[in-house]
């Protein structure tokens, strides 16, 4: 169901299965991930994981108990794989070191598969440990593999144990992870956001009024009482001393005590008469 990389921990699950003799006597392991041929991958990490998977198969002699299916991109085929495992009373294991959400966990539970999922990330909230599924620690392979083995051993003695866990997983999906629930949550979030946006707008106006009142009544008066630093006045005096205005000679004005000063008489200028040019009258100018 995934590409082969370190975080998905598919090779870790294979190693858990190879080491646990009790688990190998109860069930077989089917892995759906990556490519068989490392030359088909361009990712160095995935190439290393493919080679590691082949080495684990040879190391623990898993042939006959292990089936490796390449990663599927067809969602309909993925659904058939889930249901095929469910028909054989199997289980789904998600051993990732960390999983952000866990879509495959929801898909498997929705197909009625008892699910073992990592306790790191989203799957820790999707299922309830021991009720609608099981949490496993990806950093403790022995404990996780024993937990899976104990479940199948109990199913061997109690046929209804598998059905109970399958029904509990389906109930968990119907209560929390259907499209109807998702759509209602999205609509509710949109409504809450619209209400919050309108309320926040009024709060912003009130906050702005408070800031303006505080500025005019308190801050402005406090700012006026702040003393001016001395270096500011010294710089002003130094700047004025550098540019001195030029001194002009004093002028004395003598005025009479009894009369106002009179203006000097200006010489009369006779206006010269304006000489108009003599024009010879013609018959056209006489009316």
User: Cα–Cα distance between 96 and 9 in angstroms, integer?
Assistant: 5
- Among 256, 24, 257, smallest CA distance to 149 is for 24
- Among 31, 3, 26, smallest CA distance to 152 is for 26
206-225 residues labelled b (16+ CB within 10 A) or e (exposed) = eeeeeeeeeeeeeeeeeeee
Residue 97, pLDDT > 60, answer yes
Q: What is the dihedral of CA 231, 233, 235, 238, to 10 degrees?
A: -130
Please count the CA atoms within 13 angstroms of the CA of 119 that sit on its side-chain side.
13
Strand partners, 141: none
Confidence of residue 255 (pLDDT cuts 50, 70, 90): very low
Q: Quote the tokens at residue 235.
A: 């710089």
| Residue 191: predicted pLDDT | 82
Mean pLDDT of the chain: 82
**For a pLDDT cut of 70, what percent of the chain falls above it?**
77
Strand partners, 135: 117
Query: What backbone phi and psi angles, to 5 degrees, belong to 135?
Result: -90, 140
Over residues 218-251, the pLDDT tens digits come to 888 887 887 877 765 555 555 555 554 455 444 4
Q: Quote the tokens at residue 33.
A: 């991930």
Over residues 68-88, the pLDDT tens digits come to 999 888 888 999 999 999 999
Q: What is the DSSP string of 48-95?
A: HHHHHHHHHHHHTT-BTTEEEEPPP--HHHHHHHHHHHHHTT--EEE-
Residue 12, pLDDT > 70, answer yes
Over residues 177-189, the pLDDT tens digits come to 999 999 998 888 8
Q: pTM higher than 0.75, yes or no?
A: no
18-29 residues labelled b (16+ CB within 10 A) or e (exposed) = bebeebbebbeb
| Residue 241: predicted pLDDT | 53
Residue 1, pLDDT > 90, answer no
Residue 201, pLDDT > 80, answer no
- Among 102, 32, 100, 115, smallest CA distance to 66 is for 32
Cα dist from 16 to 12, 108, 131, 137, 147, whole Å? 6, 21, 24, 12, 11
According to DSSP, the β-strands at 92-94 and 115-118 are: parallel
């Amino acid at each position: 169901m995934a590409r082969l990389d370190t975080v998905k921990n598919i090779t870790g699950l294979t190693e858990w299965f190879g080491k646990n003799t009790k688990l190998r006597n109860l069930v077989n392991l089917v892995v759906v991930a990556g490519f068989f041929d490392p030359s088909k991958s361009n990712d160095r990490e995935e190439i290393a994981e493919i080679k590691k998977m082949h080495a684990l198969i040879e190391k623990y002699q898993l042939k006959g108990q292990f089936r490796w299916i390449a990663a599927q991109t067809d969602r309909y085929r993925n659904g058939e794989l889930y249901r095929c495992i469910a028909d054989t009373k199997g289980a789904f294991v998600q051993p990732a070191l960390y999983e952000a959400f866990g879509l495959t966990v929801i898909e498997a539970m929705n197909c009625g598969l008892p699910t073992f999922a990592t306790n790191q990330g989203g799957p820790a909230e999707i299922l309830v440990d021991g009720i609608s599924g099981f949490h496993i620690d990806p950093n403790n392979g022995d404990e996780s593999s024993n937990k899976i083995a104990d479940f199948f051993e109990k199913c061997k003695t109690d046929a209804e144990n598998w059905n109970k866990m399958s029904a509990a997983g389906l109930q968990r999906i119907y209560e929390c992870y259907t499209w109807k629930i998702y759509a209602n949550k999205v609509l509710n979030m949109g409504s809450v956001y619209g209400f919050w946006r309108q309320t926040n707008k009024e709060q912003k106006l009130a906050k702005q009024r408070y800031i303006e009142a505080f500025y005019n009544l308190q801050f402005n008066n406090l700012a006026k009482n702040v003393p001016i630093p001395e270096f500011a006045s010294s710089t002003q005096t130094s700047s004025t001393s550098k540019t001195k205005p030029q001194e002009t000679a004093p002028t004395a004005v003598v005025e009479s005590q009894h009369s106002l000063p009179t203006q000097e008489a200006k010489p009369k200028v006779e206006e010269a008469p304006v000489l108009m040019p003599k024009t010879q009258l013609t018959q056209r100018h006489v009316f």
